[in-house]
Amino acid sequence: MSKFNFVTLRLFVLTIVLSGCNVQNTTTATYEGYDGYQYETLSNEEDFWYDTGEFLPIGVNYHETNFLVNLKPGDIIYEDNGGFGITGHIAIVENIFYSEQFSQYYVRLIEAINVGVARSILTPTRFEQKVDTAFRVTNTNEQTINSVINFVIDQLNKPYEIALWKNADASNPDWYCSELIWAAYYHQDIFLDIDDNNNHGSVVFPKEIIQSPLLTQVQI
């Protein structure tokens, strides 16, 4: 078999294995050669972190990290340097995706930011500079996580708005970051606010979510 055909076959198999949310059994070897090892970190990389849509905007080097292996759909990313360093910021992992343009896998997020609910990317540099921590809801299953992800996908492009309450309704016209994540899990009877979990109750802050006993930290 030619080298070209071997690489093509391996990529085809990887795409099948990693499609959807079925990424639980991946290992570092799974991504070998497709982790962006060939790319250097851009000095202006942060210009490409947010509102990226469905396509990777730059090559991202995940080599010598465990991002691609350890992060799963539905994981919650908390950024201590978000929210002007006061409230923090929170996002959710949509999945691990493959970029044909850059021949690599990458971590894609959904988050409520100043432009509205948008897709973004998580890079090792962002994780470090924003002082990130990853969390996972325990005692859940793939079907539940799929429903969580489908909820946030349905909210894409809605505007960002700070409020003094929280609204879990799918018809909510706007979102702030922690409200979106709280609502997605609320509809699966997973209540992450340590304060109160009443729909239309008090505001939910990112730090109130990550203090939930229903979460465990993901080692990144």
The share of the chain scoring above pLDDT 90, in percent, equals 83
Q: pLDDT value at position 126?
A: 98
Q: pLDDT value at position 155?
A: 98
Q: Half-sphere exposure (CA, 13 Å, Cβ side) for 90?
A: 25
Tens digit of pLDDT for each residue in 133-186?
999 999 999 999 999 999 999 999 999 999 999 999 999 999 999 999 999 999
Residues paired with 133 in a beta bridge: 78
Residues paired with 109 in a beta bridge: 93, 120
User: Does position 24 have pLDDT exceeding 80, yes or no?
Assistant: no
Q: In this structure, what are the phi and psi dihedrals at residue 160, rounded to the nearest 5 degrees? A: -90, 135
For the segment 7-34, the average pLDDT, to the nearest whole number, is 57
> What angle, rounded to 10 degrees, do the helices at 142-154 and 177-186 form?
140
For the segment 11-24, the average pLDDT, to the nearest whole number, is 44
Structural domains for the chain: 3-218 (3.90.1720.10)
Q: pLDDT value at position 82?
A: 83
For 193, other C-beta atoms within 10 Å of its C-beta total: 22
For the segment 13-39, the average pLDDT, to the nearest whole number, is 67
Instruction: State the residue for tokens 């990777």.
Output: 56
- Non-local (6+) Cβ contacts of 28 within 8 A are 66, 69
Tens digit of pLDDT for each residue in 86-145?
789 999 999 999 999 999 999 999 999 999 999 999 999 999 999 999 999 999 999 999
User: Does position 188 have pLDDT exceeding 50, yes or no?
Assistant: yes
User: Does position 18 have pLDDT exceeding 50, yes or no?
Assistant: no
CB 71 within 8 A of CB 95: no
Greater confidence (119 vs 10) lies with: 119
The token pair at 209 is 């979510």
| Measured distance CA(160)–CA(101) in Å, rounded | 30
pTM surpassing 0.85? yes
User: Does position 217 have pLDDT exceeding 60, yes or no?
Assistant: yes
Tens digit of pLDDT for each residue in 58-97?
999 999 999 999 999 999 999 999 877 778 999 999 999 9
For the segment 200-212, the average pLDDT, to the nearest whole number, is 96
The token pair at 46 is 């942060």
Q: What is the mean pLDDT of the chain?
A: 90
